[in-house]
Amino acid sequence: MTNALTRLLETRDWLLADGATGTNLFNMGLMSGDAPELWNVDEPEKIKALYRIAVDAGSDLFLTNSFGGNASRLKLHNAEKRVRELNRIAAELGREVADASGRTVVVAGSVGPTGEIMQPVGSLSHESAVEMFHEQAEGLKEGGADVLWLETISAPEEFRAAAEGFALAGMPWCGTMSFDTAGRTMMGVTSADLVKLVEDLPNPPIGFGANCGVGASDLLRTVLGFSAQGTERPIISKGNAGIPKYEDGHIHYDGTPPLMAEYAVMARDAGATIIGGCCGTKGEHLVAMKEALETREKSDRPSLEKITEALGGFSSAQDGTEEGGDAPKRRRRRRG
Ligand SMILES: [Zn+2]
């Protein structure tokens, strides 16, 4: 299989991904509650400017503005009939920016969760989920995305449904989950669970990993969890720029560029190959990350102590992968 991402991975030890989509669009005037995907048609220059933040900072790949571009999410904005169009244009704008860069930049078609809960807990059937992901994948493919990029997923069923939808579109892909609940996803998936889930798929992703979640420290603990499983597959690390804090009516991320540079180097040491940021990560963070990755030697896997010293404490004592699953819960209860 040849695609721009696989080809880059064959010649490079690490790749720099992009930063935030949502937080950067809010800085450009997107209002909370608006569908960012509508801007692909209504504000194409702003979307190209968003993509250029990553390209100008030296990123090797960026995600398209299509995270919420599935029928279920777009229905909230009466735009469920525009899935194909909005995704196609998200990728077309990306293609235009990537191709003008004069180097290989991968256009990764972002695909987020449906926002619905799948059966048997919720009401979304496997077949409907597959079809939603398939429809979005076709739009991104038509617009010229090099690969698809599933992100911020919590439920294993949804991860599997997306993989199936992408197979129907015949597209290579990457996939990350958000480990935001004491080292697990909201639906209880641990780092070790995701490694197994990925390898059991008939069409496994090119790379897999973690995005968003809590802060950069938690994300690195999750990356260590992936590499502890001995996976050969490229690991993706896209952590938030620090911890979200509510300030003057908006969410602010406290991570500085030097902190994100430290995070990037440690992510590589922990075993990640594709390294970027998530919420709060701006161009200045990416520039600092790239400089650190280029100038600093790779070293040993960081210990948990080293991570907390450099980036701050974890949001939970355990990451869910420890032996004897209920031991940490008991401990937590005793602490009251
Ligand atoms: Zn995020």
Residues 237 and 262 sit within 8 Å (Cβ to Cβ) = no
Q: Is the pLDDT of residue 328 over 70?
A: no
As a whole number, the mean pLDDT across the chain is 93
CA of 134 to the centre of ligand 1 (A): 24
CA of 241 to the centre of ligand 1 (A): 9
CA of 122 to the centre of ligand 1 (A): 24
CA of 324 to the centre of ligand 1 (A): 30
CA of 32 to the centre of ligand 1 (A): 15
pLDDT of residue 325: 46
CA of 38 to the centre of ligand 1 (A): 20
Among the listed ranges 37-51, 79-93, 107-121, 249-263, which one has the minimum average pLDDT value? Answer: 249-263
Residues 44 and 25 sit within 8 Å (Cβ to Cβ) = no
Stretch 218-224: mean pLDDT? 97
pLDDT of residue 323: 64
**Which amino acid belongs to residue 258?**
P
For residue 196, CA distances in Å to 32, 115, 189 come to: 36, 24, 11
pLDDT of residue 329: 39
Q: Is the pLDDT of residue 331 over 50?
A: no
CA of 34 to the centre of ligand 1 (A): 17
Domains of the chain from N-terminus onward: 4-311 (3.20.20.330)
Q: Is 174 annotated as a binding residue?
A: no
The pTM for the full model equals: 0.94
CA of 213 to the centre of ligand 1 (A): 7
Q: How confident is the model at residue 245 (pLDDT cuts 50, 70, 90)?
A: confident
Strand partners, 63: 108
Helix/strand/coil percentages in the chain, nearest 5: 45, 15, 40
Strand partners, 149: 110, 174
Orientation of helix 257-270 relative to helix 283-295, angle to 10°: 50
CA of 101 to the centre of ligand 1 (A): 26
Residues 278 and 211 sit within 8 Å (Cβ to Cβ) = yes
Stretch 280-286: mean pLDDT? 96
Which residues are CB-contacts of 70 (< 8 A; sequence separation ≥ 6)? 83, 111, 112, 114, 132, 133, 135, 136
pLDDT tens digits for 132-183? 999 999 999 999 999 999 999 999 999 999 999 999 999 999 999 999 999 9
- What DSSP character marks residue 101? T
Q: Is 279 annotated as a binding residue?
A: yes
pLDDT of residue 270: 98
Residue 120, preceding peptide bond in cis (omega within 30° of 0)? yes
E runs forming strands in the chain: 15-16, 61-63, 106-111, 147-153, 173-177, 208-212, 235-239, 244-247, 250-253, 272-277
CA of 335 to the centre of ligand 1 (A): 30
